[in-house]
Structure 1
Amino acid sequence: MDINQLIASRVLALREARQLSLTALAERSGVSRSNISLIERGESSATATVLDKLAGALGVTLASLFEAGEDAPAAPSPLSTADTQAVWTDPASGYVRRQLSPAARSPLQLVEVIFPPGQRVAYDQVRREADTYQQVWLLEGTMDISAGDGSWRLHPGDCLAFREDQPITYANPGAVPARYLVGLVTLPFA
């Protein structure tokens, strides 16, 4: 399935499961009703910032918008081969996101990101229905990451851990693409 179609079906399914109208989701997310409609029809490639706003308003993680829904046919495989991994490019920054984890349900999700030089993406985290922790392990290049009041410059081999319940900014100050692995663990609130 095309990545934009996968995102489209997930946003629509999540909105319907929560019994939200397009107008209600637009009010919750700050994303226009027409933009949400285009995304749900697979006619628009939303930016990472827009997808994050929708995920927050739907009470899920951004990563969950790249997964097959509960209604996916057959039992999910515990194997994710390179040729079946969903790859998405943020149209605003050009960063490339590869969903490494298999579709089989697991509290751990792995994502590979290639972040272009000179680019920046900021997420205004919204309270979710679960607690999500993230670790970023930089493989190549340099990244500046801020989470809440903290700010760090990562070099190859560095690993940063933080919670996703705060504003987060990713920036590549270097002259070459940065490549990193993201590990996400989502736990229900106790």
Structure 2
Amino acid sequence: MARATEPTGAGAGVGARIRALREARGLSLSTLAAEAGIGKGSLSELETGRRNPTLETLYAVATPLGVPLAALLDDHDGAVVGDEGVVATRVRVVREPDRTTEVYLLRLAPGAERVSPAHPVGVEEQLVVLVGSGFVEHGDGPVPLAPGDHVRFAADRPHAYRAGPDALEAVNVIVTPVTSV
């Protein structure tokens, strides 16, 4: 049985990974919170497992840590994270010496939007639409999406996915080059 002071929620492992990465990079709690654009208290609660992470928060923290989203999630295929009408299910992660490739099944409820901050330089995303319609914005205005469409873009600038009036389901592939931090 876990002691009362030990984090046991779904976010405990994620929080421990964030703390370990932050400390390995010599970042203070205040510095990482400021760089991620979240409150210091929120980051502290996340690291201690007292708060479950949202997809938006995980992306915000992953970028200043210089790691792919997969480095923060439960390290197994099938791990699910979601918030406000957006659910990402990890399908596969391939770690190679020069890059990490993450594959997610992305589901957006009708009208839901997933706004992502810029990832580190060199990160590329691809989206293959399975069902539904919507838009992706990655710098040059909205690009319409329909079943079968494929979009590939540099993800080192803010970008967003938005579902149309029906739910949008797509395969999202994120390729992050390995850099020394």
TM-score range, shorter chain: 0.7 to 0.9
Large movers: runs of 4+ above 3 Å: none
Task: Report the CA distance between 1:49 and its aligned residue.
Answer: 2.5
Task: Report the CA distance between 1:171 and its aligned residue.
Answer: 0.8
Equivalent in the alignment of 1:142: 133
Task: Report the CA distance between 1:31 and its aligned residue.
Answer: 1.1
Task: Report the CA distance between 1:98 and its aligned residue.
Answer: 0.6
Find the partner of 1:113 among 89, 102, 106.
106
Find the partner of 1:155 among 126, 143, 146.
146
**Which stretch has the larger CA shift, 3-12 or 179-188?**
3-12
Task: Report the CA distance between 1:139 and its aligned residue.
Answer: 0.3
Equivalent in the alignment of 1:124: 117
Q: Is the 8 Å Cα contact of residues 3 and 88 (structure 1) preserved in structure 2?
A: no
Q: Is the 8 Å Cα contact of residues 8 and 40 (structure 1) preserved in structure 2?
A: yes
Q: Is the 8 Å Cα contact of residues 3 and 66 (structure 1) preserved in structure 2?
A: no
Distance 1:143 1:9 in 2: 36
Equivalent in the alignment of 1:86: 79
Distance 1:35 1:16 in 2: 17
User: 1 or 2, which has the higher strand percentage?
Assistant: 2
Question: Mapping of 1:34-49 within 5 angstroms?
Answer: 34-49=41-56
Q: Is the 8 Å Cα contact of residues 122 and 169 (structure 1) preserved in structure 2?
A: yes
Equivalent in the alignment of 1:33: 40
Equivalent in the alignment of 2:156: 165
Q: Is the 8 Å Cα contact of residues 122 and 167 (structure 1) preserved in structure 2?
A: yes
Distance 2:9 2:42 in 1: 19
Find the partner of 1:185 among 158, 175, 178.
175
**Which stretch has the larger CA shift, 52-61 or 1-10?**
1-10
Distance 1:152 1:37 in 2: 37
SS at match of 2:92: coil
Identity of aligned residues (%): 29
Q: Which consecutive unaligned segments of at least 5 residues does structure 2 have?
A: 1-7
Equivalent in the alignment of 1:56: 63
Q: Is the 8 Å Cα contact of residues 101 and 109 (structure 1) preserved in structure 2?
A: yes
1:21 to 2:28 alignment: yes
SS at match of 2:123: strand
Task: Report the CA distance between 1:13 and its aligned residue.
Answer: 1.4
Task: Report the CA distance between 1:121 and its aligned residue.
Answer: 2.1
Q: Which consecutive unaligned segments of at least 5 residues does structure 1 have?
A: 69-79
Deviations 1:130-155 (A, max 9, x none): 52111100000112110012421110
Aligned residues: 169
Task: Report the CA distance between 1:2 and its aligned residue.
Answer: 6.4
